[in-house]
Amino acid sequence: MSTAPENSTSRSSRRIGPFEVPAIGLGCMNLSHAYGAPPTPEAAERLLLAAVEEGVALFDTAALYGFGANEELVGRVLAGHRDRIVLASKCGMTGVDGRRVIDGRPETIRRTADEALARLRTDVIDLYYLHRLDRAVPVEESVGAMAELVEAGKVRALGLSEVSAATLRKAHAVHPIAALQNEYSLWSRNPERGTLEAARELGVALVAFSPLARGFLTSAPPDPAGLSSGDIRRGMPRFDTRHYPANLVLRRALEKIADDAGLTLPQLALAWVVSRGLHVIAIPGTRSVTHLRENLSVLDLDVAGKALDAAGRALNAANVSGARYNETTLAEIDTERCGRAG
């Protein structure tokens, strides 16, 4: 078993600005958004309450998710547990007249924050992210408006999502950035092109969303042919018929590594993500209490460095087939590219 600090997946806390949280939190998006029909309100409530009882501290939502519905859900269910959690949400990308709109103007950020506070049933948001960089607005202006929210006592700490190391540094010069949220998993390695190290240098937490590769590294990978019309994976090249069969071959190699290590595939995949640095926190999403507990079990595992290294060789930016987004979406995103994989 590895004893190197960099490979630690223990329950020891990790820092996000003024907060300490376990290395695995909960991404709440799929309870309202993006992956087909959401669960019933009752099922979503059960999942959120189970997460609280299992010791999850970091809950991540956004104004975009369900066009406000996810913030309303999280606020309604977790209002009575506010002192036990770190509540994170996002501005700068919302639903307007049924469309997703990126808008980082200060006046929009201020309005979105007030709307979020009402939906979340709280007087302060612990961690507030700029969800996307608005290329029409300098990041310094957007972050300046967010800093005003901190000064007003509406927000405790600031974050950025899906931005490059250069943008992180610009923003950090305006106001301390507590967290950078980027997609990071065995098959999405963009943070390794600069943001992983920049975040470490600046004392910023790297919050990894989609650490289980949008369901590809869960116990039951999606069947692309069965994805509903509202599932965002239908527009992601890695899930289309040109690329998915090749990626399944890579998955089978990972399954063997996990089995040899006495792990499930999700456990191996999450252990790999949180081993990338003591500033890395993963926020997998799930609709299943059983899968929630499986994900959190990683906090109590000491996974051999040999297995983690083998996993990183079996699936990575060099051998994954297809980009993580289509070209239209990639053009919106400020993160570093990983060659052909986007």
Catalytic site residues?
Answer: 65
Enclosing H/E stretch for 307: helix 305-314
CA-based radius of gyration for the chain: 19
Burial of 163 (0-12, 13-18, 19+ CB in 10 A): buried
Handedness of CA 134, 140, 145, 150 (dihedral sign): positive
Whole-angstrom distance, CA of residue 214 vs CA of residue 310 = 21
Whole-angstrom distance, CA of residue 122 vs CA of residue 118 = 7
DSSP assignment string, 133-198: --TTS-HHHHHHHHHHHHHTTSEEEEEEES--HHHHHHHHHHS-EEEEEEE-BTTB-GGGGTHHHH
DSSP assignment string, 230-270: TBGGGG-GGGSTTTHHHHHHHHHHHHHHHHHTT--HHHHHH
123 token code pair: 């007087």
Q: b/e string for 188-213 if b means 16 or more Cβ within 10 A? A: bbbbebbbbebbbeeebbbbbbbbbb
**Pairing of β 177-183 and β 99-102:** unpaired
Residues 6 or more apart in contact with residue 163 via CB below 8 angstroms? 130, 133, 139, 171, 180, 182, 195, 334, 335
117 token code pair: 């506070």
277: alpha, beta or left, given left = phi > 0 and alpha = psi -120 to 50? left
